[in-house]
Amino acid sequence: MNLFHFFLQNRGEILELTLEHLWLVGISTLLAVLVGVPLGILSAHRQVWNKPVLGTANVIQTIPSLALFGFLLPVPWLGDRADRLAILALTLYALLPVIRNTFTGIRGVDPAVVEAGRGMGLTGRQLLLQVELPLAMSVILSGIRVAVVVSVGLATIAAAIGAGGLGEFIFRGLAMVNNQLILAGAIPAAVLALSADFGLGWLERRLRPR
Amino acid sequence: MESSFANGPVIEFRDVAYALPSGQQLLSGLNLQVQRGETLVLLGRSGSGKTTTLKLVNRLLTPSSGEVRVNGAPTAESDVIRLRRSVGYVIQDVGLFPHFTVEKNIGLVPRIEGWTAERIHRRVEVLLQMVGLEAQMALRYPHQLSGGQRQRVGVARALAADPSILLMDEPFGALDALTRDQLQREFLSLQQRLNKTVVFVTHDLREALRLGSRIALMEAGRLVMVLSPEDFLRSSDPLATAYVRAFADGLDSVANRGLP
């Protein structure tokens, strides 16, 4: 049976696991953006927050992913369901690129533009929403892009703790020494990563200030 | 329009000092009054405290001691956002918002002040004409403009909400000599019509003499003296004469080289 037939025959399960995979990546990226962008803004605006925030995110990044899943397993509520745990772990990994790029993007806004805005009487909020964030948007997006691409890969490991996703195929294929099964997980994951990379990259270029 | 403070100074510094958090003193013992409708030039070299002085007016900086009053009210007690919107601010780097068109740049303060789109549009048209730009410039982005055009937009933006006070920090400093000359001339004719109270920072004596109704000479964080341009040229103060001599030397050296 060639690979094409295998895919055709198992298209139902492949689709299901791909959607599960997308869900894990989508929710964790969303959470990372909701937490990471404000933290990035905070550390760009307030010098004292800069080191602790970026430092913590950096440390999290250095924890091996399997170990992180293991650490989180005994935590009550969280350990009850594998997908909760996987989403939290993926969120934690996605934080660093989001925070760092938000920080870099906001700090990179031309000081003359910020000063002119302040001098014209923009409130801090107006300055942030109308000037700083729009001008930092392409840099922030490139951080989100990195986060998504990394998450798509990392999420395959989530299958090790039973959180589902395309990793199911990969682990099953490894156990059964079945290359077609491994590819049934790896190829859709690669396609997801590449299309996210391409789509977000396109958006990033569109939003890049001239 | 501005009847209640008609007779007092528009801007007043009372024994103002400013120090950085590190303790470094940038400005001390400043007493200065700016009268309605005059162009007061702050002249000095870099580090003399002229930009610091300017930023104390719209409270981009707050004095570490003393008091700054604008239209009779201490700036420390006024609403800083209201204060800044009532004072036009132009800087050397212009600081146009690169993601906004010229029209949106000029119309930003009117927009956040809640003007109607129609009124903003008309105001932008008037302002563009005032600063000598064609109407179709409204839809351009800052990166599509020359340095001189950009600074004209910067001036138009500062004038958008019709402030009575204009703060200008070396606005023409980054321009080539010919463009600068032209903008200086236009500034003079604009100022004759609008009669704003202007505080103008420069290190260029020629610009100070040309634009200022009075020149405040600053050095090392202190105000040395305030003179009319005529008196400045006649002054026997060593610092003033040093400026005049440096300026004259420039002309002499050209003459000595046999050029006209």
Segment A149-192, tens digit of pLDDT: 999 999 999 898 888 899 999 999 999 999 999 999 999 999 99
Judge whether B93 and A121 are in contact, CB under 8 Å.
Answer: no
Residue among B109, B141, B143 whose CB faces A121 most closely: B109
B188 within some domain: no
- Chain A partners of B99 at a C-beta cutoff of 8 Å? 134-135, 209
- Chain B partners of A117 at a C-beta cutoff of 8 Å? 95, 97
Mutation for A interface: B62, B84, B85, B97, most A CBs within 10 A? B97
Q: What are phi and psi of A15, to 5 degrees?
A: -60, -45
Query: pLDDT means per 10 residues in chain B (260 residues)?
Result: 64 97 94 96 94 96 96 94 95 93 96 95 95 94 94 95 95 92 94 94 95 96 95 92 87 68
B4 shares its domain with B52: yes
Q: What are phi and psi of B16, to 5 degrees?
A: -85, 135
B235 within some domain: yes
pLDDT, tens only, A103-144: 999 999 999 999 999 999 999 999 999 999 999 999 999 999
Residue among A115, A116, A123 whose CB faces B81 most closely: A123
- Among the candidates B140, B163, B186, a domain finishes at B163
Structural domain total, chain B: 2
B207 within some domain: yes
Judge whether A34 and A48 are in contact, CB under 8 Å.
Answer: no
pLDDT, tens only, A66-111: 888 888 888 888 878 888 999 999 999 999 999 999 999 999 999 9
B68 shares its domain with B25: yes
Domain containing B233 — which CATH number?
3.40.50.300
B201 shares its domain with B241: yes
pLDDT, tens only, B38-47: 999 999 999 9
B73 shares its domain with B5: yes
B74 shares its domain with B14: yes
Domain that holds residue B59: 1-78+167-174+195-260
Please state, in angstroms and rounded to a whole number, the distance separating the CA atoms of residues B216 and B84. 23
Q: What is the pLDDT of residue B29?
A: 95
B128 within some domain: yes
Judge whether B255 and B61 are in contact, CB under 8 Å.
Answer: no
B118 shares its domain with B157: yes
Please give the average per-residue pLDDT across A27-36, as a whole number.
Answer: 97
B180 within some domain: no
Mark yes or no for CB contact B89/A119 under 8 Å: yes
B209 shares its domain with B245: yes
Q: What is the pLDDT of residue B7?
A: 72
Q: What is the pLDDT of residue B142?
A: 95
Judge whether residue A208 has pLDDT over 90: no
Is B249 an interface residue toward A (CB < 8 Å)?
no
Mutation for B interface: A120, A125, A127, most B CBs within 10 A? A120
For A:30-69, CB contacts with B below 8 A are: none
- Among the candidates B115, B141, B163, a domain finishes at B163
Model pTM greater than 0.90? Answer: no
Residue A210 confidence class, pLDDT cut points 50, 70, 90: low
Percentage of chain A beyond pLDDT 90 is 77
Q: Name the residue of chain A whose CA is nearest to B104's CA.
A: A130
Q: What is the pLDDT of residue B1?
A: 44
For B:44-63, CB contacts with A below 8 A are: 58, 60
Q: What is the pLDDT of residue B259?
A: 56
B147 shares its domain with B204: no
Q: What is the predicted ipTM? A: 0.86
3-state SS assignment for residue B200: strand
B189 within some domain: no
Mark yes or no for CB contact B108/A120 under 8 Å: yes
Q: What is the pLDDT of residue A162?
A: 86
B67 shares its domain with B4: yes
Q: Which of B257, B258, B229 has the alpha carbon at shortest distance from B243? A: B229
In the structure, how many helices (H) and strands (E) does chain A have? 10, 0
Structure tokens, B103: 């029209």
Q: What is the pLDDT of residue A185?
A: 93
B190 within some domain: no
Mutation for A interface: B57, B81, B87, B96, most A CBs within 10 A? B81
Q: Which of A187, A167, A170, A186 has the alpha carbon at shortest distance from A178? A: A170
B186 within some domain: no
The alpha-carbon gap from B209 to the nearest alpha carbon of chain A, in Å, equals 27
Q: What is the pLDDT of residue B139?
A: 96
Percentage of chain A beyond pLDDT 70 is 99
- Which neighbouring-strand residues pair with B33? B12
Residue among A122, A135, A210 whose CB faces B143 most closely: A210
- Chain B partners of A136 at a C-beta cutoff of 8 Å? none
- Chain A partners of B60 at a C-beta cutoff of 8 Å? 115, 118-119
Judge whether B230 and B215 are in contact, CB under 8 Å.
Answer: no
- Among the candidates B114, B139, B163, a domain finishes at B163
Judge whether residue A31 has pLDDT over 50: yes
Please give the average per-residue pLDDT across A53-67, as a whole number.
Answer: 90
